[in-house]
């Protein structure tokens, strides 16, 4: 009888461990993104500057070959998240405006990040609830998910396609504040697309989060709004030629 009780206890413990393990597997969403410089604004600029169709096609292909690979993690329980650079597939003789090293969001919704813009590293900070969106009626399907479109309030050139079917508040870079995972984005100098959506363990996320959070502790940050102003000023400058 004692042996049966012990066996029953072992079975209950194992069952509990399995249930917890399965639950933990879906605690942290892990999304792979690829970004590049083939944005609507940049393509429009190239079309104005390159009149020869063959040369234009060749240059646009070169732009398309330049890719930045990043991963976005979000803990669905704590709401902490991390968007971090994995690698860059550079293209010879092609210069771009830059890319993002990382964006961290803590439990309180405070954001801090680092990106390279025009050869200079920029550190920024913001509160995620300060990022406001305007919703449109546009809809489309991306990777089997029904998506809706929203653009940054006051800047329709920065927009995102998000899916309410994955109800997390986040996505690549600083695309926070939407009622669903962001699958595609467009901004003047960058477009971002989703590759894969999966889950990882809380341990993998926590280790990665701590590793990135430990970087650049003494760096001086500017508000995210000032980063937008820098980019808008540069956009106006090159638009004028």
On average, the pLDDT of the chain sits at 90
**And the tokens for 135?**
């919703």
Encode pLDDT of 88-127 as tens digits.
Answer: 999 999 989 999 999 999 999 999 999 999 999 999 999 9
Give the C-alpha separation, 64 to 171, whole Å: 22
pLDDT of residue 10: 40
Q: Write the secondary structure of the chain as one string of H (helix), E (strand) and C (coil).
A: CHHHHHHHHHHHHHHHHHHHHHHHHCCEEEEEEEEECCCHHHHHHHHHHCCCHHHHHHHHHHHHHCEEEEEEEEECCCCCEEEEEEEEECCCCCCCCEEEEEEEECCCCEEEEEEEECCEEEEEEEEHHHCCEEEEEEEEEECCEEEEEEEECCEEEEEEEEECCCCCEECCCCCCCCCEEEEEEEECCEEEEEEEEEEECHHHHHHHHHHHHCCCCCCCCEEHHHHHHHHHHHHHHHHCC
Encode pLDDT of 45-97 as tens digits.
Answer: 999 999 999 999 999 999 999 999 999 999 999 999 999 999 999 999 998 99
pLDDT of residue 19: 36
pLDDT of residue 193: 98
Mean predicted confidence (pLDDT) in 11-38: 67
Q: How confident is the model at residue 13 (pLDDT cuts 50, 70, 90)?
A: very low
| pTM for this model (two decimals) | 0.88
Contacts of 149 (CB under 8 A, 6+ apart): 135, 136, 138, 139, 140, 159, 160, 161
pLDDT over threshold 90, residue 130? yes
Give the C-alpha separation, 111 to 122, whole Å: 14
pLDDT over threshold 60, residue 6? no
């Amino acid at each position: 009888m004692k042996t049966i009780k012990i066996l029953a206890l072992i079975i209950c413990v194992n069952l509990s461990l399995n249930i917890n393990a399965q639950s933990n597997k879906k605690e942290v969403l892990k999304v792979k993104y690829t970004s590049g410089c083939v944005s609507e604004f940049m393509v429009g600029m190239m079309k104005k500057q390159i009149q020869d169709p063959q040369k234009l096609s060749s240059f646009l292909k070169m732009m398309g070959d330049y890719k930045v690979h990043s991963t976005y993690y979000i803990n669905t329980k704590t709401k902490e998240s991390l968007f971090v650079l994995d690698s860059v597939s550079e293209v010879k003789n092609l210069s771009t405006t830059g890319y993002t090293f990382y964006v961290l969001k803590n439990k309180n919704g405070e954001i801090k990040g680092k990106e390279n813009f025009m050869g200079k590293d920029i550190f920024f900070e913001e509160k995620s609830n300060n990022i406001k969106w305007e919703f449109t009626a546009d809809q489309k399907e991306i990777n089997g998910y029904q998506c809706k479109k929203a653009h940054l309030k006051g800047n329709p050139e920065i927009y995102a396609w998000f899916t309410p079917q994955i109800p997390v508040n986040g996505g690549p870079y600083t695309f926070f504040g939407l009622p669903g995972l962001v699958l595609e984005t467009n901004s003047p100098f960058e477009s971002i697309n989703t590759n894969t959506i999966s889950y990882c363990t809380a341990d993998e996320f926590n280790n990665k989060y701590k590793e990135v959070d430990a970087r650049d502790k003494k760096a001086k940050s500017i508000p995210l709004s000032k980063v937008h102003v820098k980019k808008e000023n540069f956009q106006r400058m090159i638009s004028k030629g």
